[in-house]
Amino acid sequence: MEVQPLDRRVQRTRAALAQALLELASERPFADLTVRELTDRADIGYATFFRHYPNKEALLLDVLSGIVDDLTTLLEPMADAGRLDDAGRELFEYVAAHAARLRVLLAVEHGSAVEHALRAAVRARVLASGTFRPPEGVPEDLAAHHLSVSSLALVTWWLEHQMPYDARQMGAIYARLVVRPTRDR
Amino acid sequence: MEVQPLDRRVQRTRAALAQALLELASERPFADLTVRELTDRADIGYATFFRHYPNKEALLLDVLSGIVDDLTTLLEPMADAGRLDDAGRELFEYVAAHAARLRVLLAVEHGSAVEHALRAAVRARVLASGTFRPPEGVPEDLAAHHLSVSSLALVTWWLEHQMPYDARQMGAIYARLVVRPTRDR
Amino acid sequence: MEVQPLDRRVQRTRAALAQALLELASERPFADLTVRELTDRADIGYATFFRHYPNKEALLLDVLSGIVDDLTTLLEPMADAGRLDDAGRELFEYVAAHAARLRVLLAVEHGSAVEHALRAAVRARVLASGTFRPPEGVPEDLAAHHLSVSSLALVTWWLEHQMPYDARQMGAIYARLVVRPTRDR
Amino acid sequence: MEVQPLDRRVQRTRAALAQALLELASERPFADLTVRELTDRADIGYATFFRHYPNKEALLLDVLSGIVDDLTTLLEPMADAGRLDDAGRELFEYVAAHAARLRVLLAVEHGSAVEHALRAAVRARVLASGTFRPPEGVPEDLAAHHLSVSSLALVTWWLEHQMPYDARQMGAIYARLVVRPTRDR
DNA sequence: TCCTAAGCGAGACGGTACGTCTTGTCTTCCA
DNA sequence: TGGAAGACAAGACGTACCGTCTCGCTTAGGA
């Protein structure tokens, strides 16, 4: 809960680390990166890294946090009524706009902290929306789980295949494969 | 492709390692385990491990291989016609019968080698079945990806929540959420 | 060679550091102390330390300097004629009077900067006195070295053994073991 | 108390470390050396160092141990009867024969672990000899301390001044300055 | 029944990353 | 304007784990 603006140096240091992470993770699997590589690329001292993050996973989650917020916001309406195709299109437009960063983050060994955090956030948001009504006989919790996992799976597939369809098409597919089946009617 | 029967000692060693893996992975995340722990638990020499597997992931995949074959066989008919509820029920009955082992394997940090291998196998099988017909406008490859990811997600959810519904119910939910939407009609 | 009276704050800062050094060095070997500990104990800023001393050895030598002067003055007459026992007694009386501080300083891992500085000072003084006449066949430089080392060794032994004899007795022993053998007759 | 002959590899590794220590310590103060330098010079792995010694001081003491034994053996007769000049000459002949190694070891910041270990060993040996009789009024423990410190001081002085006198002369000086004064008559 | 090759336990080793610690510099902020 | 606060670079430390490598022992399983 850092409220007061951090020392400008601190911000610069963290920004450099975030940038280094994105660069390196787009070259090699995140799990392979070493703290030394990150600090060398960011041009900061090795020990300085640990003054900001306890380990590289913490850095990753920090870099992620903004994205997670955006994605959960975009996924929430999926639980809601009407305009499903529009909501789906908007989701994939957002993904396309942040493709570089998302590619890195979702490629982080499909699963692990990132996917887990994302899924939990999406699920919590969907369940909290109050408007999510899964079909008869399908438990709400299970439907939310399915929704979050499948949504990410589609996004990941799209990114990994160089976005072969446009956002509107993906929105329609998404509505058909994922969203509608989790809805009452 | 081991054809000639391996030395009995070799089999004993590998069995001990498999057992140690299952025990330890049910206590702590697989990623945290060390080769030393595995060999200590299996009561074999440290270096001996590397005479059998290049690393612990290889051991995991070996232990997995039977399961993977079974699961892909069970998931194949999902791409096929009729009796969807039956096929779904059979899938969850198999899962229930191998719950202990599957819990360990799927808990391996959702993703990683295991999930990747499983997904790839399922997808390959589904696509090779020749009977898989996704709905109009949904690419076959994407549908297969969605099918494999979602299937595993449901199985995982069920296991992690202590199987609160029976196999028949899960089969029905599965058919409704996952299988039917990926089919033409 | 600080001539003009230093800023009062500067003196306060240095006094606090000197005090912190004496306290900490009496608890743990000097070599183990860190600058951070000294500044914390002295309740001054970490960086402030380096505005006064380039490193902790410099602080030590500063704290020592008065003692070194006193000791060299007291040891000088050892090179001189008559009243050896008196001179010895006076040496040990001085040591007893400043036991606490000397204990700390001489305990600094027998050797190191402190002992070296002390020995050099004593030796220079003895050689400069002009009255030092070692026995036939014993080089003056070697005799002075022996005198300084042995003197400190006796003082150190006395302090470390809780001064089991009085200053007069020690003076006599000192004269017999150390001083007389380094003299002509 | 290693009785059974250590693995040949172990001996080779330790010998390489001992050699590296002697080389490096003759170039720069021991305290400045890093473990990395030692292992690089010895051409062994960094981590391997710690399989043999907990830190570089332990290595130093190990390298020392033989010397310590020799020196204490040579110093013991100083506490004993007649032929003092011969015993003294033998001591300095030994020192001359092992000058290179001793120079390194005694130069280790005059004091520290090395000097302390040496003094303690010499003292214990002298006191245990049973033939040591200091003069009236001089406590045995103090005399032994004085003997060990002064002996090392003379040896050190000799080595540091490029051995300007021969062993016979040093033996005589030694007897006069150090040994005889610590004896009854 | 022997003997020969393989599997194995033991453990030293090189290598690499980790997270911690300390030093001394430098900047910024405050009194 | 000078001292306190503390971020920072640099780099050593000792630990952990990995995968490789010998060295003997034992134990099949074929001669």
Instruction: Give the mean pLDDT of chain D.
Output: 84
Q: Which residues fall within 8 angstroms of residue D6, CB to CB, at 6 or more apart?
A: none
- Predicted confidence at residue A2, as pLDDT, reads 39
> Does the pLDDT of residue D110 top 50, yes or no?
no
Higher per-residue confidence, D138 vs C124: D138
Of B112, B161, B177, the CB nearest to A146: B177
Q: How many Å apart are CA C119 and CA C113, to the nearest integer?
A: 10
| pLDDT band of B1, cuts 50, 70, 90 | very low
> Does the pLDDT of residue D103 top 50, yes or no?
yes
Which residue is closest, via its CA, to the C1' of F28?
Answer: B7
- Predicted confidence at residue B73, as pLDDT, reads 81
Q: How many Å apart are CA C172 and CA B50, to the nearest integer?
A: 74
Instruction: Give the mean pLDDT of chain A.
Output: 84
Nucleotides of chain E touched by protein CB (<7 A): 6-29
C70-122 residue pLDDT tens: 887 777 766 555 666 778 888 899 999 988 888 877 776 545 666 777 778 87
| pLDDT band of D184, cuts 50, 70, 90 | low
- Predicted confidence at residue C110, as pLDDT, reads 47
Beta carbons of D63 and D70 less than 8 angstroms apart:
no
> Does the pLDDT of residue D122 top 50, yes or no?
yes
Among C65, C79, C82, C179, residue whose Cα is nearest residue C127:
C79
Q: Tell me what the mean pLDDT of segment C128-140 comes to.
A: 82
* Residue appearing with tokens 């069970």: B74
| pLDDT band of B170, cuts 50, 70, 90 | very high
**Strand F lies under 7 A from the Cβ of residue B7:** yes
Among B158, B146, B10, B155, residue whose Cα is nearest residue B79:
B146
* Other residues' Cβ atoms within 10 Å of the Cβ of residue A6: 12
| pLDDT band of B33, cuts 50, 70, 90 | very high
- Which positions 101-160 on chain B have a beta carbon less than 7 angstroms from any atom of strand E? none
- Predicted confidence at residue D80, as pLDDT, reads 59
> Does the pLDDT of residue B38 top 90, yes or no?
yes
Share of chain C above pLDDT 90, in %: 17
Cβ pair B181:A176 closer than 8 A: yes
Beta carbons of B180 and B84 less than 8 angstroms apart:
yes
Beta carbons of B173 and B154 less than 8 angstroms apart:
yes
**Strand E lies under 7 A from the Cβ of residue C9:** no
Among C2-6, D42-46, D140-144, the least confident range = C2-6
Q: Which residues fall within 8 angstroms of residue B84, CB to CB, at 6 or more apart?
A: B78, B175, B179, B180
Q: Which residues fall within 8 angstroms of residue C163, CB to CB, at 6 or more apart?
A: C96, C99
B56-70 residue pLDDT tens: 999 998 888 878 888
- Which positions 36-95 on chain B have a beta carbon less than 7 angstroms from any atom of strand E? 43-48, 51-52
Exposure letters B120-145 (e unless 16+ CB within 10 A, then b): ebbbebbeeeeebbbeeebeeebbbb
Nucleotides of chain F touched by protein CB (<7 A): 2-22, 28-29
Burial of B73 (0-12, 13-18, 19+ CB in 10 A): exposed
Helices (H), A98-166: 99-106, 112-129, 140-160
Tell me the shortest Cα–Cα distance from A66 to chain B, in angstroms.
23
Among A1-10, C131-140, C156-165, D15-24, the least confident range = A1-10
- Predicted confidence at residue A38, as pLDDT, reads 96
Q: How far is the CA of C63 from the C1' of F11 (A)?
A: 30
Q: How far is the CA of A104 from the C1' of E28 (A)?
A: 36
Higher per-residue confidence, A22 vs A133: A22
Q: Domain D56-182 falls in which CATH fold?
A: Tetracycline Repressor; domain 2 (1.10.357)
Parse chain A into domains and list their residue ranges. 1-53, 56-182
* Residue appearing with tokens 């899938």: B91
Do chains B and D touch by CB distance (3+ pairs < 8 Å)?
Answer: no
Q: How many Å apart are CA A91 and CA A71, to the nearest integer?
A: 8
Which residues of chain D neighbour C157 with C-beta distances below 8 Å? 142, 145-146
- Predicted confidence at residue D88, as pLDDT, reads 86
Q: How many Å apart are CA B144 and CA A56, to the nearest integer?
A: 34
H helix count then E strand count, chain A:
9, 0
Q: Tell me what the mean pLDDT of segment D130-148 comes to.
A: 86
Higher per-residue confidence, A87 vs A171: A171
Q: What is the DSSP string of chain D?
A: ---SPP-HHHHHHHHHHHHHHHHHHTTS-GGG--HHHHHHHHT--HHHHHHH-SSHHHHHHHHHHHHHHHHHHHHGGGGSSS-HHHHHHHHHHHHHHTHHHHHHHHTSSSSHHHHHHHHHHHHHHHHHTS---PPTTS-HHHHHHHHHHHHHHHHHHHHHTT--S-HHHHHHHHIIIIIGGGS--
Q: Is C113 helix (H, G, I), strand (E, B) or coil?
A: helix
Which residue is closest, via its CA, to the C1' of E17?
Answer: A34
Q: Which residue of B has its CA nearest to A179?
A: B177
- Predicted confidence at residue D4, as pLDDT, reads 53
> Does the pLDDT of residue D135 top 60, yes or no?
yes
Instruction: Give the mean pLDDT of chain B.
Output: 84
Beta carbons of C151 and C178 less than 8 angstroms apart:
yes
> Does the pLDDT of residue D79 top 80, yes or no?
no
Share of chain B above pLDDT 90, in %: 38
Which amino acid is it at A154?
Answer: L
B128-156 residue pLDDT tens: 877 788 888 899 899 989 998 899 899 99
Q: Which two tokens stand for residue B5?
A: 């029967």
Q: How far is the CA of C62 from the C1' of F6 (A)?
A: 27
Q: Which two tokens stand for residue C22?
A: 């004496």
Of C145, C176, C180, the CB nearest to D138: C176
Burial of C125 (0-12, 13-18, 19+ CB in 10 A): buried
C127 CB-side CA count, 13 A? 15
| Dihedral of the alpha carbons of C135, C138, C141, C143, in degrees to the nearest 10 | -60
Which residues of chain C neighbour D161 with C-beta distances below 8 Å? 141
**Strand F lies under 7 A from the Cβ of residue C50:** no
- Predicted confidence at residue D73, as pLDDT, reads 80
Q: Which residue of A has its CA nearest to B163?
A: A142
Which residues of chain C neighbour D105 with C-beta distances below 8 Å? none
* Other residues' Cβ atoms within 10 Å of the Cβ of residue C31: 14
Cβ pair B146:A150 closer than 8 A: yes
D48-73 residue pLDDT tens: 999 999 999 999 989 888 788 888 88
- Predicted confidence at residue C184, as pLDDT, reads 65
Higher per-residue confidence, D130 vs C87: C87
What residues of chain A have any CB closer than 8 angstroms to a CB in chain B? 109-112, 115-116, 135, 137-139, 141-143, 145-146, 149-150, 153-154, 157, 161, 164-165, 169, 172-173, 176-178, 180-182
Share of chain A above pLDDT 90, in %: 38
> Does the pLDDT of residue D5 top 70, yes or no?
no
* Other residues' Cβ atoms within 10 Å of the Cβ of residue B61: 15
**Strand F lies under 7 A from the Cβ of residue B56:** yes
| pLDDT band of B112, cuts 50, 70, 90 | low
Q: In Å, how far are C34, C100, D32, D97 from D26, measured between CA atoms?
A: 28, 37, 12, 17
Exposure letters D14-32 (e unless 16+ CB within 10 A, then b): bebbbebbeebbeeeebee
Q: Tell me what the mean pLDDT of segment A53-68 comes to.
A: 88
Q: How far is the CA of B155 from the C1' of E21 (A)?
A: 48
Q: Which residues fall within 8 angstroms of residue B75, CB to CB, at 6 or more apart?
A: B91, B122, B125, B126, B147, B148, B151
Q: How far is the CA of A119 from the C1' of F9 (A)?
A: 39
Beta carbons of D158 and D91 less than 8 angstroms apart:
no
Of C169, C172, C177, the CB nearest to D146: C177
Q: Domain A1-53 falls in which CATH fold?
A: Arc Repressor Mutant, subunit A (1.10.10)
**Strand E lies under 7 A from the Cβ of residue A48:** no
Q: How many Å apart are CA C175 and CA C181, to the nearest integer?
A: 8
* Residue appearing with tokens 């300095």: D92
Q: How many Å apart are CA A175 and CA A89, to the nearest integer?
A: 9
Q: How far is the CA of B157 from the C1' of F15 (A)?
A: 38
Cβ pair A146:B150 closer than 8 A: yes
Among C30, C162, C174, residue whose Cα is nearest residue C96:
C162
> Does the pLDDT of residue B98 top 60, yes or no?
yes
Helices (H), B26-139: 35-42, 46-52, 56-75, 84-97, 99-106, 112-129
C32-84 residue pLDDT tens: 889 999 999 988 888 889 989 988 888 888 887 877 788 877 777 665 556 66
- Predicted confidence at residue C124, as pLDDT, reads 82
Diameter over CA atoms, chain B: 57
Beta carbons of D104 and D153 less than 8 angstroms apart:
no
Which residues of chain A neighbour B142 with C-beta distances below 8 Å? 154, 157, 173
Count how many pairs of residues, chain C against chain D, have C-beta atoms within 8 Å: 86
- Predicted confidence at residue D35, as pLDDT, reads 97
* Other residues' Cβ atoms within 10 Å of the Cβ of residue A14: 18
Q: Is A81 helix (H, G, I), strand (E, B) or coil?
A: coil
Beta carbons of B127 and B141 less than 8 angstroms apart:
yes
Q: Which two tokens stand for residue A165?
A: 């369809």
Beta carbons of B62 and B53 less than 8 angstroms apart:
yes
- Which positions 15-54 on chain D have a beta carbon less than 7 angstroms from any atom of strand F? 34-36, 46-47, 50, 54
Q: How many Å apart are CA B112 and CA A110, to the nearest integer?
A: 7
Higher per-residue confidence, C128 vs A52: A52
Higher per-residue confidence, C157 vs C3: C157
